[in-house]
Amino acid sequence: MNIVLVTTSFPTCLAGSEAAGSFVSDFALELANSCEVAVVAPGSSEEIQQEHEGMRIFRYRAPRQPLSTLRPSNPVHWRAIATTLWSGKRTTLHAAREIDADWILALWALPSGYWARNAASRLNIPYATWALGSDIWSLGRLPVVR
């Protein structure tokens, strides 16, 4: 089975320094013991990193600041938001095609769930979104999402 994990939080080196990214790294490494895994994660540019312990990391272009700090109400953030949304969508589809994915798992609802849904519908494969209660509460405050 070939699985794509889509996330907005993943360490830039596998040693990991952030809690959520470390969890995703550990989760991906465990999955890689029994199937092919591709991780779609933020980076400074779009690139495919070397295979490591049975998985490949596909980086989408994202700003250095945490995505959760970008505000759609702030015009200064619009370019970074648009670039991230476009790059993540494109990279998710590319990763799924590259490994001939059987399934996509999005970690967190937006934007990962949106990217997974798009790629899954285009490739006619199943996807799932792992969303925490805090994600739902945070998204509920956005007028566009409500």
Tell me the residue range of the domain where 31 lies. 2-140
pTM above 0.75, yes or no: yes
Total domain count, the chain:
1
Does residue 34 lie within any of the structural domains?
yes
Comparing 7-11, 31-35, 52-56, which segment has the lowest mean pLDDT?
52-56
Residue 21 within a domain: yes
Is 146 a member of any domain? no
Is residue 145, in this structure, part of any structural domain at all? Answer: no
CA distance linking residue 69 with residue 40, whole number of Å: 20
Four-CA torsion 129, 99, 31, 116, nearest 10 degrees: -10
In the β-sheet with 47-52, what is the strand arrangement from edge to edge? 47-52, 55-61, 36-43, 2-6, 103-107, 127-130
For residue 29, is it within any domain?
Answer: yes
Q: Out of 1-5, 12-16, 22-26, 115-119, which region has the weakest mean confidence (pLDDT)?
A: 12-16
Residue 56 one-letter amino acid: R
CATH code, domain carrying 36: 3.40.50.2000
Query: Is a pLDDT exceeding 80 seen at residue 144?
Result: no
Query: Average pLDDT for residues 41-61, to the nearest whole number?
Result: 85
Does a structural domain hold residue 115?
yes
